[in-house]
A and B are shown apart, each in its own frame.
Chain A
Amino acid sequence: MNELVKCTGLCRDFGSVRALDGVDLTLEPGKIVGLLGPNGSGKTTLIKILNGLLQPTAGTVEICGAAPGPISKSLISYLPDRGYFPDWMRVEDMVELFDDFYADFDRVKAGEMCLTLGLEPGSRIKTLSKGTKEKMQLMLVMSRKAKLYLLDEPIAGVDPAAREFIMKTILTNYNEDGTVLISTHLLLDVEQVLDEAIFLQRGRVVLHEAVDSIRERTGDSVDALFRQMFRSDMW
């Protein structure tokens, strides 16, 4: 069983809205994969199903051959698109928490990353600016030697200089034996980092291909193909 992630016929409804409409997907270890699509295409829903925050309405999902549960959660390092911290904690409390719950957490690395990113371990989370909170979240997620990193819009709402910095931080720290799934609609900043690209449109996978293959085939960037395919979905 070489597949890290396997989704078969995955569907998810929210009332009358069909967020995922039969997703078939396989992810292999050791790749950096882009989950690309406009807002509302189902990216966040898919990620939530992968990390067990949501149940599918139909279809199956397997992480390393098993359904999502405590075991798959111990293998997945998740960066959500929002802050999720108890206000009263300090940065060092969060480091302790991750160290307690995740066997693959590298405390030494976390300390180094705090220095690099300029994070004060003793500071209270509620006093931090939005950007600093995001850095802390990134530090915690990337200090784990996970099998699967799920990064939901890591660079949205961040200024261009910081975007480059975030991408470099990810590249420097991720576990090379694992897979990184980056969900974003900002393809320009992310394209050169990807091995594979998945295009998600209205809850369906319309493309899943190696990035080099796309560039050779079309003679242009993946971003160009993306714009072309999603012209009608963009404002």
Chain B
Amino acid sequence: MMLGKLMKYDFRCMLRKFGPLWLGLLALAAVNGFTVGHVLEKGSVNGFLSFLFGVVPIILLFSLWVATCVMMIVFVCQRFYKGLLGDEGYLMFTLPATPAEHIASKLVVALVMEFITGLAALAAMLIFVMVYDGAGFLEGLRELSDVFPRLPQGSVGLLILFFLLMVASTLAQDLQIYLAISLGHMAPKNRVVISVLAYVGISVGVSILLSALPGVIRIGSLDLTIDSFSEAMETAVRYGSGALGIMIGWQLIKAAGFFFGSNAILTHKLNLE
């Protein structure tokens, strides 16, 4: 199937860029586990060397993490803007695939990239703790395995729903970027600026749309932003998994709308230059 073939090439491109970043994160986490423990805290080396081996690894790890986060956004934008609507578009849109397949391919690969980056962050933290204090880490694991069976009923279910909510809102987020870039593509000049404006415009437009809708739906339609994460948690605790379900549904509705919009623009208003 065409979609599979498209994804093959998008995956290759993504792995080339992110493979080194992920490996770097894991490696630096291990290094830091060692240096924070032995250099900074136990003070086995003094003065300048202490700085070099103690503080520099931390700076490196932090910088790499920031770079990875920036790279994530840049990747999502670039693959769509340059990969589909730049000169590469002449190749892409003369392949025997539909615009929908192109969008889907970019989207799936972006999601996988975001997921693995999240996993890499978690793994980095675990590696850090393991290297820093192996014994303590194992004990922590043992304690966790004791706590697990004693958790309230349905906690696992809630966690799964939370995970799905993160996936759904990332989906909507990426598709909003795609729609904004597609809208920018229709402008004769200053396409980048218009895309940024379009992105903001879509968010504003969506909130205006929401505020026009009646009561109950408003509670469940909190967009998952960093600020309202706690609100989302409160809402979930108070209203249960149903509320989470509605939130997931809302993200999916947005995602579908953005997908339709992007597809319509790329099918009918394509104008490569």
Interface residues of A (CB under 8 A from B): 14-15, 48, 51-55, 69-71, 73-74, 76, 78, 80, 82-86, 88, 97, 100-102
Within 8 A of A (CB), among B245-273: 268-272
Whether B94 contacts A51 by the Cβ 8 Å rule is yes
Question: Assuming A53-B93, A53-B272, is B98 touching A86 (CB within 8 A)?
Answer: no
Question: Assuming A84-B90, A86-B13, A88-B13, is B96 touching A71 (CB within 8 A)?
Answer: yes
Whether B13 contacts A85 by the Cβ 8 Å rule is no
Whether B90 contacts A82 by the Cβ 8 Å rule is yes
Known: A54-B271, A84-B91, A86-B83. 6 other contacts (CB 8 A): A54-B270, A69-B98, A84-B88, A85-B91, A97-B9, A101-B96
Question: Assuming A51-B94, A53-B270, A102-B96, is B188 touching A15 (CB within 8 A)?
Answer: yes
Residues from chain B with a CB closer than 8 A to the CB of A97 are 9
Query: Could you tell me the distance in whole angstroms from the C-beta of A210 to the nearest C-beta in chain B?
Result: 29
Neighbour of A73 across the interface among B8, B13, B94, CB < 8 A: B94
Whether A53 contacts B83 by the Cβ 8 Å rule is no
Contact with A along B24-58 (1 / 0, CB 8 A): 00000000000000000000000000000000000
Question: Assuming A55-B268, A86-B13, is B88 touching A73 (CB within 8 A)?
Answer: no
Whether A70 contacts B96 by the Cβ 8 Å rule is yes
Query: Could you tell me the distance in whole angstroms from the C-beta of B182 to the nearest C-beta in chain A?
Result: 15
* A interface SS class: loop
Does B217 sit within 8 A of A, measured CB to CB?
A: no
CB-nearest residue of chain A to B8: A100
Interface residues of B (CB under 8 A from A): 2, 5, 8-9, 13, 16, 83, 87-91, 93-98, 188, 268-272
Q: Which of A53, A76, A83 has the most CB of B within 10 A?
A: A53
CB-nearest residue of chain B to A48: B272
CA distance A15 to B263 in the complex (A): 22
Query: Could you tell me the distance in whole angstroms from the C-beta of B87 to the nearest C-beta in chain A?
Result: 5
Neighbour of B2 across the interface among A48, A82, A101, CB < 8 A: A101
Whether B96 contacts A73 by the Cβ 8 Å rule is yes
Question: Assuming A80-B90, A84-B88, is B95 touching A73 (CB within 8 A)?
Answer: yes
Neighbour of A53 across the interface among B2, B87, B88, B90, CB < 8 A: B90
Question: Assuming A70-B2, A88-B13, A101-B5, is B94 touching A78 (CB within 8 A)?
Answer: yes
CA distance A86 to B98 in the complex (A): 19
Residues from chain A with a CB closer than 8 A to the CB of B96 are 70-71, 73-74, 101-102
CA distance A15 to B87 in the complex (A): 22
CA distance A83 to B91 in the complex (A): 9
Neighbour of B87 across the interface among A54, A82, A100, CB < 8 A: A82
Residues from chain A with a CB closer than 8 A to the CB of B88 are 84-86
CA distance A51 to B95 in the complex (A): 10
9 closest cross-chain pairs (CB), A and B = A74-B96, A84-B90, A84-B91, A70-B96, A73-B96, A80-B90, A78-B94, A101-B95, A100-B5
CB-nearest residue of chain A to B6: A101
Residues from chain B with a CB closer than 8 A to the CB of A76 are 94
